[in-house]
Amino acid sequence: MTRTEALAILDEYVKNPNLKKHMLAVEAAMRSYAEKYHGNADEWGVAGLLHDFDWEIHPNAAEHPVKGQPMLESRGVSPEIRRAILTHAAHTGVRPETDMEKALFASDELSGLIVAVALVSPNKTLTEVTIERVIKKMAQKAFAANVNRDEIVEGAALLGIPLELHIGNVLVAMQQIHEQLGL
């Protein structure tokens, strides 16, 4: 599946502009990790773009992302990408095994936390966000309370890298597309 085809799926199923930006952020992180782990950046990027494509249709843990799988299969999305999408949601019981799956699991919640940190920065930009600020805000349970901090820590462990390095990797990837994210 090409990026253009994946974006067409997003345009069809995702109406919330912030959700689209979230998927662009995860795509950027996935492309960055593909380079670090010698993966296919286009394939990894598509996994990032599509991981939440069905959230507005199935906005609960019992259905998302499981019920979206047949839709992706009918569109020709590879089994590898579909499995990665299942692994990003811990409630599915499908555990990340490949580097692509681990990177998607690791990047999803962290990208949301980074956006939240940017939004409380004086100028509301990603350029103001630092690793230290993310760690400080991560420790504040009331801040971005819907972000699963345990999954962020687990994601870094799955990737086999220190949490600070993981935060830095995702932050830099997101900073590179800050204009698309409006941050």
pLDDT in tens, the chain (183 residues): 999 999 999 999 999 999 999 999 999 999 999 999 999 999 999 999 999 999 999 988 789 999 999 999 999 999 999 999 999 998 899 999 999 999 999 999 999 999 999 999 999 999 999 999 999 999 999 999 999 999 999 999 999 999 999 999 999 999 999 999 999
Q: List the domain boundaries for the chain.
A: 3-181
For residue 39 the two structure tokens come to 């993966």
pLDDT of the residue at 59: 86
Residue 140 Ramachandran class (φ > 0 left, ψ -120 to 50 alpha, else beta): beta
CATH topology of domain 3-181: Hypothetical protein af1432 (1.10.3210)
pTM score, whole prediction:
0.96
What are the backbone dihedrals phi and psi of residue 115, each rounded to the nearest 5 degrees, phi first? -60, -45
